[in-house]
Amino acid sequence: MTNQTQSELIGTGNGFIAALDQSGGSTPKALRLYGVNEDAYTSEEEMFGIIHDMRARIIKSNAFNGERVLGAILFERTMDGDIDGKPTATYLWEDCQVVPFLKVDKGLADEENGVQILKPMPDLGALLDKAVSKGIYGTKMRSVISAASPEGIKAVVAQQFEIGKQIIAAGLMPIIEPEVTISIADKAQAEEMLMAEIKAQLDALEGDQQVMLKLTLPEVANTYKPLADHPRVLRMVALSGGYDRDEANTRLAQNSGMIASFSRALTEGLSAQQDQSAFDATLNTSVQSIYDASVAG
């Protein structure tokens, strides 16, 4: 179904997956944290050009390679761009030995029953075909759970797996991401419900179908351990979900069978104003701490 070498690396390698997939809605905040305010660009194209340069700077850093970073999730425009004259996904794999993934969702629907399911993706088939042609290994799509709602959580997981099967059929590895909001009072209850719904969907997969899971760091350590051990799960990764890097790493290290797939926590402390030496040193500290937390479990 997929490149066997990449599957083995993602399935058993030591390290983590970098999330470099901020899209239109989250890009201005990511740039502000990077020291680039809205007055630095006058159009969406300029904004995306700056964020691509930031991602390229991360990927080209000597701190970013397959020794500690197993994979990287890209936004479509990043996939369509180049790094030193090579398509981004090709550069990641050939120059860094980092497996490329692609964010495929088009954002979230309005909240209903305490959750936000994925917006319709009418062009998903064409996007998956393009991803395959560009050497992408897998995909990611994010839903949000903001309450311990049995009906809502069931709908989120059902939709994720329905689309996941389409992604598998296209020859790609889906990352199922039903994020639980970290600030809700009933987070632990929502996570128990989510675990049960995911297990039911995993049990129903057929043949050699496998998925990856990207889940919020749980309130109770190892809540999701049965999912990590499930034969239909290639790898389980964690999102930082708004926790700062230290808190995310502390929580991650307590969860067996779970590695990081951090976005903001990965880029914490990086700045457009840093010279290359300072940038590389800051990124190296971040990468090492997330790596250590990922292998601790």
Based on the residue annotation, tell me whether 151 is a catalytic residue of this protein.
Answer: no
Burial class of residue 168 (count of CB atoms within 10 Å of its CB; 0-12, 13-18, 19+) = buried
Among 103, 140, 154, 177, the one annotated catalytic = 177
Can you tell me which residue has the tokens 């390290």?
Answer: 15
Helix (H) or strand (E) holding 162: helix 150-169
Among 103, 140, 154, 214, the one annotated catalytic = 214
Based on the residue annotation, tell me whether 225 is a catalytic residue of this protein.
Answer: no
Classify the C-alpha dihedral 210-211-217-219 as positive or negative: negative
Query: Hey, which residues are catalytic here?
Result: 177, 214
